[in-house]
C-alpha cells in the first residue's frame, strides 16, 4: 500500500503534507528523516499532518526534518490553509480555525489559484519573555510565538555598513550551538533593520537547521523589533532568503503573517 502526499512551500520553507482527515496517520522519526532527506528522500524542511477532531475542527501536526515534533510553524500553517482551499474544504475568504500544539490558530486564503495563493495566518499574541538575554556575548530578545525564539539585532546606523550575508554567516556559525542554549531548544534569528518598516532576517530553526524562511521567526523578529523601537508601526515587511512576508501586530497584540503559499507537486511513497 502506498501513501499519497502533496508538497507545499511558503517562502521556500517546504513541507510534505499528509491528509489524515479520514484515517489516522503516524510516522516514526526514522521515516520522517528518510522522507525529508534532500538527497535520498523527497526532501523537505518537515512534514505536516492534517486531521480533524470529533467536532470537525481541523488540526495540524508538525514534524521537523530530524524527526522531532514542533509545536507551531507559521509557514506550515499557511501551507495547510492553501491545502484546505485546494481540496475545497474551505472557501477563499473564510477564516478557518486550525488546532495546533500551541493552541488554536487561524488561516484565511485570499487570491486563490491552483499553484499559488495568498494566505494569511493568525498566530495569536506573541510575548517578549526577556529583552536582555546575553548568549555568546551577544544580546538577544527571547520571544514566545507558540514556539521559542531568540533574536539578535545588528544595530548599525546604516545597513550598508554590513558585510554581504552577515546574518546568514552568523546563523550558520552560531545557530548549531545556540539552538541548544535554552532548555528544550530554541529557534535563533539574526535580524537587520533596513528601514522603518522593514527587516532582513535569517533563522536557524530548532530541529531543522538553516531554512530559507521561518514564519514564526519573522513574527518573533517583528515583535522584538517593535519592542525595542527598531521599526515603526506594523505592518513590517520581513525579507528572508526565500522571499518576503508581511507581519502585523494589531493594537491588541494579535499577530498575522501574510504572504504566498505554493503547491509544488503530488506524489506517493511506498511502504
Active site residues: 73, 214
The 10 Å Cβ neighbour count of residue 158 is 7
Beta strand segments in 167-242, E: 187-195, 198-205, 209-210, 236-240
Q: CA 15, CA 7: separation in Å to the nearest integer?
A: 6
Nearest to 192 by CA among 215, 167, 210, 172: 167
Mode of pairing for the β-strands spanning 46-52 and 13-19: parallel
List the grid coordinates of 154.
545588528
Cβ-based neighbours of 158, under 8 Å, separated by 6 or more: none
**Cα–chain-centroid distance for residue 27?**
21
Residue environment code for 96-132, b if the CB has 16+ CB neighbours within 10 A, otherwise e: bebbbebeebbbbbeebeeeebbbbbbbbebebeeee
Q: What single-letter DSSP state applies at residue 143?
A: E
What residues does 5 pair with on adjacent strands?
Answer: 267
Amino acid at each position: 500500500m502506498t501513501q499519497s502526499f502533496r508538497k507545499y512551500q511558503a517562502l521556500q520553507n517546504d513541507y510534505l503534507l499528509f491528509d489524515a482527515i479520514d484515517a489516522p496517520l503516524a510516522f516514526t522519526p526514522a521515516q520522517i528523516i528518510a522522507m525529508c532527506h534532500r538527497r535520498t528522500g523527497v526532501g523537505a524542511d518537515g512534514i505536516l499532518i492534517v486531521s480533524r477532531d470529533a467536532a470537525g475542527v481541523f488540526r495540524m501536526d508538525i514534524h521537523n526534518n530530524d524527526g522531532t515534533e514542533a509545536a507551531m510553524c507559521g509557514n506550515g500553517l499557511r501551507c495547510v490553509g492553501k491545502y484546505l482551499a485546494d481540496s475545497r474544504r474551505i472557501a477563499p475568504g473564510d477564516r478557518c480555525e486550525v488546532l495546533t500544539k500551541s493552541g488554536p490558530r487561524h488561516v484565511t486564503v485570499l487570491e486563490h489559484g491552483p499553484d499559488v495563493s495568498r494566505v494569511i495566518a493568525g498566530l495569536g499574541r506573541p510575548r517578549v519573555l526577556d529583552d536582555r538575554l546575553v548568549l555568546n556575548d551577544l544580546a538577544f530578545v527571547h520571544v514566545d510565538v507558540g514556539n521559542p525564539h531568540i533574536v539578535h539585532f545588528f544595530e548599525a546606523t546604516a545597513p550598508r555598513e554590513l558585510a554581504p550575508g552577515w546574518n546568514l554567516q552568523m546563523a550558520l556559525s552560531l545557530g548549531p550551538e545556540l539552538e541548544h542554549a535554552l532548555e528544550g531548544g530554541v529557534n535563533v534569528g539574526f535580524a537587520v533593520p533596513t528601514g522603518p518598516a522593514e527587516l532582513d532576517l535569517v533563522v536557524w530553526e530548532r530541529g531543522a537547521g538553516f531554512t530559507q524562511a521561518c514564519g514564526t521567526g519573522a513574527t518573533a523578529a517583528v515583535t522584538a523589533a517593535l519592542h525595542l523601537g527598531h521599526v515603526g508601526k506594523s505592518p513590517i515587511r520581513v525579507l528572508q532568503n526565500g522571499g518576503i512576508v508581511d507581519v502585523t501586530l494589531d493594537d491588541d497584540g494579535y499577530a498575522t503573517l501574510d504572504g504566498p503559499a505554493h503547491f509544488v507537486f503530488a506524489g506517493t511513497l511506498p511502504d
